[in-house]
Every structure is written in structure tokens, then in C-alpha cells.
Chain A
Amino acid sequence: MKISLTVNGAQRAFDVHPGDTLLEVLRREGYKGVKKGCGAGDCGACAVLLDGRAVNSCLVLAGKADGSEVLTIEGLSKDGALHPLQEAFLDEGAVQCGYCTPGMVIASLDLLTHHPDPSEEEIREGIAGNLCRCTGYTKELRAIQAAAEKMREARHG
């Protein structure tokens, strides 16, 4: 079957099998920033924004996403400029192996879009579905707080 998706702003058509997950299709089509850690919705490494909300793409059938808008980590930086979340993850040392990072950044983006000024508890809740085995989350929490501040400043001038 054919599906149509807007991926990172570009309209694309994909041939998919009925059983294909969105994760499989995105990786097959070259969006390698979408990572597979478990294939069961437990780790969050495959998170993408689907119509503006973070989802585990391993749990979404590609056919069900037909007509949707998808944002992957590859679509986050604009014209070579990193997103404040990406900058903050680098500056705070929140990236170690980097395998969970795309999903973690996507989940954080969802969080900050809906809660521009989250408490630490809200941040912990917001990335609760994204497992990281390297960092202990300490640096991620700081990075997300720092990015939130920058994004609020940018919004209010």
C-alpha cells in the first residue's frame, strides 16, 4: 500500500506493507536518527513527533500514520543551526553514547511545547518513557531546564 507523510516538512509518498511500523518505514527511508532499542514501546529510542505529539514509532503502524506530519530528529535543526534543546544537550554533557538522544530530545520538545516552564518533576515525567543507560538523567534534566529557559526568552523576545 502507498502512504503519504509529511516528514520534516517535506511531503513524501512511501510504499509500505500492512504490517510495517512507522519506525521500520522511517529507517528504511533513511531517517536513521530514529533508533530501535526494543521494538516494544519500552525504551523510547524511536520517538518522533506525530502530528505534534511524541510517540514511539515502533508502536505505530505506518498505514495508520497515512496523511500525518512527522518530525524526526533530523528535522529539528534549521539551516545548520541547532535547536536550543540540541545545544543544551551538548553544553550540559547530556549526550554520552547518543543512542537514546534523538528520542529524548523529541520527548523533551513535546514537553516544552506544551509546558514551556516545567518543574523538575514535570521534566522527569516528560522523559519517563525514554530510557538512558549512560547518564543517570542528571545532565538531561539540566539540559532541558536550560533549553526551556532559552526557548521562553526567544518566544518573549
Chain B
Amino acid sequence: MAEERRPAFVVVGKNERKVDGVALVTGKPKFAGDLDLPGTLCVKILHSPHAHARIAEIDTAEAEALPGVACVLTHQNTPLTRYTTAGQGYPEPSPYDARMFDTKVRFVGDRVAAVAAETEEIALEALKKIRVRYEELPAILSVDGALAAGAPIIHDEKDSPGIYDAAKNIAADVDIDVGDVAQGFAESDVIVETVCETQYAQHAPIEPHVVLTNLDEDGRLVIRSSTQVPFHVRRIVARVLDIPLHRIRVIKPRIGGGFGVKQEVLLEDLAALVTLRTGRPALVVLSRQEEFIASRTRHPMRIRVKLGARSDGTLHSLEMEVLSNTGAYGTHALTVLSNVGSKTLPIYNKAKNVHFFGKAVYTNLPVAGAYRGYGATQGYFALETAMDELADGLGMDPLKLRRRNAIRVGESSPIFEKLGEGREGVAQTVKSCGLERAIELGAARIGWEEKRGKRPRQGSRVRGVGMSIHMQGSGIPQIDMAAATVKMNEDGSFNLLIGATDLGTGSDTILAQIAAEILGVPVSKVIVTSSDTDVTPFDTGAYASSTTYVSGKAVERAALAVREQIVQVAAAMLADDGGNLDEARFVLKNERAVAPNGRGVTLAEICQRAMYQTGQFQIAATASFVPDESPPPFMASFAEVEVDTETGRVQVLEYVAAVDCGVAINPKMAEGQVEGSVANGIGFALTEEMLFSSKGRVRNPTLFDYKILGARDVPPIEVILVPSFEPTGPVGAKSVGEIGINGPIPTIANAIHDAVGIRLTKTPFTPERVLDALRARRPG
């Protein structure tokens, strides 16, 4: 740990209030759906009732004739450009297998048509008047079905580039090798193998997807969207609708949670086309049911992990095979698949032989996409379950086994270089790692030594403890790019313009804290404007745990450049005084620039001189950052559970997440990221699951039937921020948005095993599955 290198901070490390907090707690109209534009049309979508069918005919005449209908969109009157809805950097590593509207539907919920009307009632009425004749095709409702010989081909079109093998329904394929796993297993003393399966799960942000479009006074298209990726929205909409990029402005107002589901260009094209066709504002809001059937989900996966270890517990051979269900379209198929390995395997860098391979296959089920954790969540279930089994096989404490094999400061893993996001990765050594300490602190907090293996029983209820360890990344190296502009005002305040996208995480606030720290002002003197493609510089967006590390570094650089300009002016102002004016030794604090001799001038005076008096110029700078590495945050997570052997109910009594995210710029916000992602992860582990009919229809598309955890369901979650300092990060920070969600599934699974001796390998761990496993357990 490099704690000694940590400088003394004034603003960084403080629990500053959110810069947008007062507006949010007073209910100010800050969200995309809160703006009323006169004459706004309501857009509604007709979704496919079939899992797989050709559209033989669409007749919209009756719908168009309905008074109040402004326009009806189908494949007959919209661009046929192939694209991906994945809001990724360009060129996107996802196949261009989608169209605005296609002649074929590939899942129940696929787009068939859209109506724009004066009111929601009229739009819904018009949807009923659209006559569609479908020619039903056999549907594929499982990954095994997709790979079976003679399976129907879901993407049989000839014009979709980027599909790995369309004829076999394989969207993406990955296969990387380090050393020789076969020989590695032959040389191993203990070998375990496990297969884990994860479910269809939905992000369920409380704010659904919302897009509002209009033409401004100059006839330019303005898109206000609840998006995590405003710049990608602009680029993709320009291409799909074939309009010049400079005629589009994308604004991201406050957004009500995203978790990856808003990293998709899901609705912007529809609203934009309605506005371009009619000249009128258009609003499209998904209903909660549409969120479930027609937005995006986590990729369900079946993952096989085989581990071989020496008798001293050193991992020697590690094999991971992934079968991922990408649903009807391949958005994020390749990159999520890659991340199953790239964000898990490096944590056990002692294994000399590693084989990671897998496929993402198409099915006629809802479309999987980006979801917090991005494949790592699924990967850790299998990996950390297998590690627990290996500990059993070795007769070794699971903590000790993980300590022996975990990556440390100064170490690397060949996986970093071999496996990137849909392509080769980037070599890196770990420069900060609080994992060892996280294991120690977490174990002490949960009471590992006292509780492990004790199985205290009260009636039919038995308790146990489990743990697992994790890493994620901080952005995508050599792909992500962020920029920031800092501009000074004559009262000594600053505008901070950032393309970065605050989706509720608090990134506007922590980025302001970075700038304030460097410029020697309170956060209140930093005015943040973010995510407006006309106003703010470029940023790839809020995904891949990129904001704190990548956008933060851009802000740090811009602020340092402005600091330099401030000091130059200050030195000139103090020149008459004589004394030491070594610019390198100026300090900015308390809204003043102070020379080494102790004399200083206020920032307001400095800017007034630069603006109005001598050598006039605007004190401002823009800086960019493209990371050369992706420093992993680390986590050790622990849970104590109680399993009722009569009802099968699993209750988490306490959850502990000890996290190393480098310097926590705003500790409460960093804790909040972990608490929220852990709560979501406990939901995956215990209750959340999309259920399907035999025809591929989602059976539980409501928040009543799809159970996300409420305040009564969430156990006490203790987050321990483990101090570390990342030398390549802004003010020593790493990112922390995703890692927490990887913990609960394996941690709870391992705790259940500690309590009652069963290995659950299919999420969620419902009472039925627990009882089945208890019954199937061999006596003794």
C-alpha cells in the first residue's frame, strides 16, 4: 500500500453534498420527462407478440386515419440501415444486426411499428388498428436449442456485419490460452470442476427510459434522453437516420438510474424521426412492462470452471468455459463475454496455465445488454464457487487459499494483455491493491474465525458464513476517452464542463471535488455543466467503471493547466514585491494564490486582471485523457446467512464488503455505490428472475412479480473502505461503480454451503432450489 504517498487533501476525501442534491430533494423538474414542450406528440410502440416471425404484411391505413394520429412508423417508411443499439466507442465491437424496424421479429417485445399521436390514449388506440400478418417461425428459447443441429437461424439476413457465425446462431466467440491447461491439470494434486448458471435479470431503474425530442429555433434536432452515453447517441442517431451529426444536440438531464440499461440507443431514433417527420416535439416513455419485455437484461450464462492446484494450495491450471445467451440481438455480446474472463481471471495470477473460451449465442428471448458488473458478476459466481470447492478439496481455509493465490502490488497477469474488451487487452502491473487488507478487515467484521464451520442451529434454521474476492477495472484502456474544460470567472469561480454522464452516481460532484482540490476553492465555486454535446467536450460515457478514473483524470489535467495559468498571472502581479516567485512553489488555497514568500492575491483579483487589465486572456483549459491501463478496484465480501431447512428460505443476516477503490474522493458516495450494487446483487442471488412462457413471453413484467429488494428485504450492509493510493489515478482514485455487484451471489452461495452443506449452482437461490438441493444431498 502506498498510503505514505497520499497527499493531504482539503476537498477530496470529504463527504461533500451532491452538487445537484438540493434540486433533487426539492423535486425540481430536472429529469428528461419533466419538461413540457407545447405540442408534444406521444410516441407508443407496437411490440411483437411472437418470439420469431416474418412480417408478411403491415397495414397502417386505419391507424393513420384515426383523428389525432400524426405519423405511423414501420419498416415500410423508415431507414433500413443496420446498426447496433450498443452505446459503445466507434467502431462498436457489437454486430450491426438491428434495424429501426425489420421485416422479421426475433423476440416477444421486438419492435413492429410506432405511432405518434396527440395523446397517449389516441396512440394506444392507433396501435390496435395496425393490421399485421405474421408468418410464425420456430422459436429458439434456450442456448442449447440455439446450438442444436438444424436449429432455425435467427439472423438469416445477409447484411448484418460483425456476427461471428450467423448460420450457427453464434453472435460472438472468444478463445485465449496461456500455458497448457491439459498439462497443468495433469500436474495438479487436486482438481475441482463446477458448472454455474445465472438467470435473466433486469436492471429496473426506477425511472424508465425517457426521450424527448424537438427542433430548436434553428431547426436543429435536440434530443433530451435518459442516456448514459450522449455522444454515442448523437453518432448513432446521425448514422441511422442519415442526418449530419452537427444538426443534432444531445442533452442528458438528471437521470433516474441506469446500471447499463441506458447504455443503449433504445428510443432516441424513434422520437427523433417523429420530430423530423412532423416538425413537432415527441416524447417516448417506456412503461414498466415495456422495460421488462423490450429494454435490455443481464446476459444469462452457463459457466464451467475447472481448477487444478498443487497440494500447498497454489493454483496451477485454470479453465473457464462460457455459454452466454445474448437474446435476439448481439448488443454487448462479445464484450460482456470477454469480461467474464478479463475481470475475473487476473485476480488469481498464480495459475500458470489458463484457458478461457466461450460463445455468445442468439435466442428468441429478450435482448441482453450492458449491466453493472458486465459479465464479471456471472464469472465470479462460477470462479468463487469453484475456489470454495477447491478449499474443501485441499482441506484449507478458503481465506488462506485466496490469500495464497491473489494478485498483489507489483504483479501482473498475462490475461490483462491477452483478453481485452472484444479484442486483445493491454499489459499492466497492479500499482495499488488493498485486497489482503480487505480480506483481513472483512473477516474480522463478520467474525470469520468464530463462525466458520460452526453451523449453529435453532429449530430448522442453520447459520453459516461465506466469502469471496473480486476485482473490476477502471475504464477501458486505450479505448475510453474523456475530456474536460475548466474556465475561470472574475469572482474566482470556475465552470467545469464535462462530457461525463452522472446517472445518479454523484460523478458531477466528485469531479467538482477534484477540480476544487487543485484550484484551492470550495466545491460551491465550481459550477458543473455535464453531458451536453453542444456545450461539453467529448466523453465516451458512463460505463465500464470509467468515470472516476478516466473522466476524473481529464478533470485533474484541465484543472492543473488552469492552475498554471493562474500562477503565471499571480507571479506577474506580485513581481513588484520581489522575493521568491518560483511558480512551481505557489500554492492555491482558500481562494488565493500564495507565493513561496507568503504573499498572495485572491483568485478573483487574478481573473479580473486577466480579463480586464493586463495581458488580457481567458484563463481556461481543455484536457483529455485516454488511459493506458485499467487499475482494478478490489473487494473482499462476506456474508452470514440463515437457511431454513424446512422452508428452504435463505436470509442474509449481515453483509460485509471491504473495498479498495484507491482514494475515496467522497467516502459516503463511494460507500453508496457499494451498498447499492450489493443490494442489487443480493436480489440476483435470492429473488430476481425473469420467467418465460413456453412461447417466450415474459410472465412477470411488473415490479410486483419481479422482486427487487425493498427496505425490509435488505440486510445490514457494512462497507469498509480500505485505504490505498492509485498512482496513475486522479488524486489517487480508482473507480467503484460496478465491483460491489459481483459479491453477493458467490458469497451467499458459499455461506449456504457452510450452513447446510449444499452447493447451489443456479441463481436465484429460491426456497424451491434450496429444498431440492437439500433433498438431493446424499445422507452423511
Contacts and interface: CB of A to CB of B under 8 A. Distances in A.
B26 A73 contact: yes
Interface in A23-45: 30-40, 42-43, 45
Given A32-B28, A127-B711, A131-B710, 5 more contacts: A39-B288, A43-B206, A76-B26, A97-B257, A97-B504
Given A99-B504, A137-B714, A37 B27 contact: no
Contacts of A77: 26
Interface string B681-720: 0000000000000000000001110001011101011010
Interface of B: 15, 17-18, 20-22, 24-31, 33-34, 36, 203-208, 254-257, 259, 287-288, 503-506, 666, 668-669, 671-672, 675-680, 702-704, 708, 710-712, 714, 716-717, 719
Contact of B714 (A45, A97, A136): A136
Nearest to A134: B676
B37 to A, nearest CB: 13
B210 to A, nearest CB: 10
Interface footprint category on A: 35 or more
A27 to B, nearest CB: 8
Contacts of B505: 96
A109 to B, nearest CB: 12
A157 B719 CA distance: 36
B668 A35 contact: no
In the complex, the 10 A-B pairs of residues with the closest C-beta atoms, listed nearest first: A33-B27, A97-B504, A99-B256, A98-B24, A136-B679, A93-B668, A73-B27, A136-B675, A42-B703, A32-B29
A129 B708 CA distance: 12
Contacts of B506: 96
A51 interface: no
Nearest to B25: A86
30 contacts: A30-B36, A32-B28, A32-B31, A33-B26, A34-B27, A37-B288, A38-B702, A43-B288, A82-B25, A82-B26, A89-B25, A90-B25, A95-B18, A96-B505, A96-B676, A97-B256, A98-B504, A105-B25, A123-B711, A124-B711, A125-B711, A130-B711, A131-B708, A132-B676, A133-B203, A133-B206, A135-B675, A136-B714, A138-B671, A138-B672
A53 interface: no
A62 interface: no
Of the listed residues A38, A99, A132, the one surrounded by the most CB atoms of chain B closer than 10 A to its CB is: A99
B281 to A, nearest CB: 16
Contacts of B716: 138
Interface of A: 30-40, 42-43, 45, 72-74, 76-77, 82, 86, 89-93, 95-102, 105, 123-125, 127-141
A101 B208 CA distance: 15
A76 B30 CA distance: 17
Contacts of A73: 25-27
Contact of A102 (B18, B27, B503, B679): B27
Contacts of B677: 136
A66 B685 CA distance: 45
- The B contact surface, by secondary structure, is loop
Contacts of A72: 27
A38 B288 contact: yes
B25 A98 contact: yes
Nearest to B502: A97
Contacts of A124: 711-712
Given A96-B505, A97-B255, A136 B710 contact: no
A25 to B, nearest CB: 14
A96 B257 contact: yes
A128 B678 CA distance: 18
A86 to B, nearest CB: 4
Nearest to B740: A136
B612 to A, nearest CB: 34
B27 A40 contact: no
A6 B711 CA distance: 31
A21 to B, nearest CB: 12
A108 B82 CA distance: 49
A98 B31 CA distance: 10
Contacts of A90: 17-18, 21-22, 25
B529 to A, nearest CB: 18
Nearest to B255: A97
A148 to B, nearest CB: 15
B39 to A, nearest CB: 15
Contacts of A141: 711
Contacts of B255: 97
